[in-house]
Amino acid sequence: MDGRRPVVASLRGLVVAGHPQAAAAGARLLRAGGNAFDAAAATAAALGVVLPYACGPGGFGVAICHLAAEERVRVLDFLPRRALGSAGGSAGGSAARVGLPAALGGWFELARAHGKKRPHEIFAPAVALARDGAVLIERPARALEGLGDLAEPLEAALHGPATARVLRLPRLARTLEQFAAEGPEWLTHGPLGRAFAAFVAAEGGQVTAEDLATLAPAWTDPVSTPWRDLTLAAPPPSSQGFAALLALRLAGKEALAPALARAEAARAAAPQPDAPTLAHLFTEESLAALRAEEPVVPAAPHRPPVAGLVVADAEGNLVALAQSLGGAFGARLALPESGLLLGDALGWGAPPEGMPPACALAPLLALRNGAPVLAAAGTGAAQVVRAWASGAALPEAMAAPRLGDDAAEVVALARDAASGVLLAGVDPRGESDAVPV
């Protein structure tokens, strides 16, 4: 889909997501008195139903959040800690690449820590979509052609023409409903976790009771750096968000492509930098040395599909979240009877030994004088931030050509500091949508 999309704006709240029905799920929570954290969790869960090839409860993600009451930025990390394979495992139908299903706990924690609504209210829209059916058009409908032999274990029911398919996932509906009732302990110490561990072992992987018991999302501080008249913030490693910030700092007024190549080289040299290494990377001395290097543009990387969302509420809270299964339909393994597709923890490549997998999930937040003015999530977020900061209106920034996979979607949201108006950045390349409140 090409062409200009209508501008969506609001004063009270706005949800932007990679699918209209997911955005509507989040808006439902805002209208019911929830805040941005409730709406983000509901939107993320709904995306796992309507974009099952890209994300889901068996996957992982990361969110960067502006907490209005505390006037600070925090990151919720529910990224994979390791792949669960044994030496004999292999890709494609083996548990060797599977990561722990972190998304369920991430969605739950986002609302638990800062939301207002109860779990069954958060998960209700996703449960209804999975049980009653989600309408998929264009790219999501075409992607379901790759479902293949996963349809049976997922109990996936597809109806209608290829251009407008109705997808029902009754097993997933039951799992989401029970998770809302039981909470994370159902996975970390209960029957769902035991079923997951037994299945992974049967498929040649290795997962321990300790792995499951310690499966919990972590609140951390962002990586931040000054840039122009803004402060940019991104999730810390194992997210590769720092490389996006580094590229923006390196580019100056020059083309972004060489800066991205230099930032990627720096990331490859230190894929999981500690705090002192990160601090040094952003010093003027380090930036000057990196600019002096001849950029080597790498071959087009493998880009697993990513689903992004951005939510803002009337209280000033903002959440930008990116999530993935690490590949189309993840590791192509479905946990029996649950409707869960298991994520591929090595979707962005195998990490150095002893390190967690590095994930190119990097929602970005731009602040001016401590207040958020722009957030973006999805592949190409850094390019949208740069175009907007260079003077482009948000619709033009969203429509501008992007490097690499031009078909990859990104969503964004801007807040006008003077009026408080929220403006949606909807990607004209795909099916993302915005719902105001």
Tell me what the pLDDT averaged over the chain comes to. Answer: 90
Asked if the model's pLDDT at residue 299 lies above 80, the reply is no
Stated pTM of the model: 0.94
317-335, pLDDT tens digit by residue? 999 999 999 999 999 999 9
Specify the pLDDT at position 92. 40
Q: Provide φ and ψ at 217, rounded to 5°.
A: -65, 155
Please give the full DSSP string across 138-173, using - where no structure is assigned: HHHHHHGGG-GGGHHHHT-EEES-TTEEEEE-HHHH
Position 39 scores a pLDDT of 98
State the pLDDT confidence band at 297, using cuts at 50, 70 and 90.
Answer: low
What integer is the mean pLDDT of 113-128? 98
Domain covering 9-219+302-436 assigned CATH 3.60.20.40 in the classification: yes
Q: How far is it, in rounded angstroms, from Cα 198 to Cα 206?
A: 9
pLDDT per residue as tens digits for the range 355-399: 888 888 999 999 999 999 999 999 889 999 999 999 999 999 998
Q: Containing H/E element for 414?
A: strand 410-415
Structure tokens at 411: 């969503």
How high is the pLDDT of residue 91?
A: 39
Question: Span 147-160, mean pLDDT?
Answer: 88
What's the pLDDT band for 205 if we cut at 50, 70, 90? confident
Spatial distance between the Cα atoms of 313 and 305, rounded to a whole number of angstroms: 27
Domain ranges of the chain: 9-219+302-436
- Tokens representing 180 are 């809302």
- Name the CA radius of gyration of the chain, rounded: 20
Q: For the segment 17-30, what is each residue's pLDDT rounded down to a tens digit?
A: 999 999 999 999 99
